[in-house]
Chains A and B, each alone.
Chain A
Amino acid sequence: DAGITQSPRYKITETGRQVTLMCHQTWSHSYMFWYRQDLGHGLRLIYYSAAADITDKGEVPDGYVVSRSKTENFPLTLESATRSQTSVYFCASSDGQVGYQPQHFGDGTRLSIL
């Protein structure tokens, strides 16, 4: 399903470096989300966006920055990466507020911080 794409798929970086994960969707969905997935924790919401230029924190926002200048893009930036941010990151989108429209996920980015 090419509707939502994430890049890169794999990334290795060092502590203290800045890294940006990209998310692009072609559906013109209004809502976009960033989750991290860690063993034993399931999926935890980092940030979400209801529309261009509207973003809000999720459950675990510390250490992350997002922006949404265009509806189709929702990049996630780790300003100074730490080892605890090693994880698999999933972007998702939905056509309307969750509870009324389902979320669809990208293929994920596996991020390792050494």
Chain B
Amino acid sequence: GENVEQHPSTLSVQEGDSAVIKCTYSDSASNYFPWYKQELGKRPQLIIDIRSNVGEKKDQRIAVTLNKTAKHFSLHITETQPEDSAVYFCAAYGSNYKLTFGKGTLLTVNP
């Protein structure tokens, strides 16, 4: 089945800096890659997603890039703010018709 590796597990940045979280997947048939943000004690919320026919997608300060050849995708957050502090999860939808999640990255933005 699909295997999704996410790095780093923790990330600390200064307010205003950029943050990058990387994920790799194993199933070359995977075609949908969402990113979720989860604040402490809250539900995971979809923040951006990308499909395999697109290399990059942006939404204000958030962007996701996808490299199908290397089977990795990344989340980029620019001009980070304290409210960006949360756990971020990547996921991949593969040939098993299920979403497989990475183990999460705890992002801390220091004021």
Residues of chain A whose beta carbon lies under 8 Å from any beta carbon of chain B: 40-45, 48, 58-59, 90, 97-100, 102-108
B89 near A: Cβ within 8 Å? yes
A75 to B41, CA, bound (A): 22
Does more than half of chain B's interface fall in helix, strand or loop, or is it mixed?
strand
Contact with A along B38-73 (1 / 0, CB 8 A): 000011111001000000000000000000000000
Q: Contact check, B98 vs A42: say whether CB atoms are below 8 A apart.
A: no
Q: Contact check, B46 vs A42: say whether CB atoms are below 8 A apart.
A: no
Q: Contact check, A45 vs B103: say whether CB atoms are below 8 A apart.
A: no
Contact of A48 among B1, B89, B98 (CB under 8 A): B98
- Give how many A-B residue pairs fall within 8 Å (CB-CB): 48
Q: How large is the interface on B (under 10, 10 to 19, 20 to 34, 35 or more residues)?
A: 20 to 34
Residues of A close to B49: CB separation below 8 A: 102
- New A-B contacts (17) at CB < 8 Å, excluding given A42-B104, A43-B101: A42-B6, A42-B89, A42-B101, A45-B98, A59-B1, A59-B98, A59-B100, A90-B44, A99-B31, A102-B34, A102-B46, A102-B49, A103-B46, A103-B99, A105-B36, A105-B43, A105-B44
Q: How far is the CB of B31 from chain A (nearest CB, A)?
A: 6
Q: With A98-B99, A99-B31, A99-B32 known to touch, is A43 a contact of B93 (CB < 8 Å)?
A: no
Task: Rank and list the top 4 A-B pairs by shortest CB-CB distance, nearest first.
Answer: A42-B103, A99-B32, A99-B93, A105-B43
Contact of B102 among A42, A59, A103 (CB under 8 A): A42
Q: How far is the CB of B48 from chain A (nearest CB, A)?
A: 10
Residues of B close to A105: CB separation below 8 A: 36, 43-45
Q: Contact check, B43 vs A98: say whether CB atoms are below 8 A apart.
A: no
Contact with A along B76-111 (1 / 0, CB 8 A): 000000000000010101000111111110000000
Q: How far is the CB of B89 from chain A (nearest CB, A)?
A: 6
Q: How far is the CB of B15 from chain A (nearest CB, A)?
A: 27
A90 to B89, CA, bound (A): 14
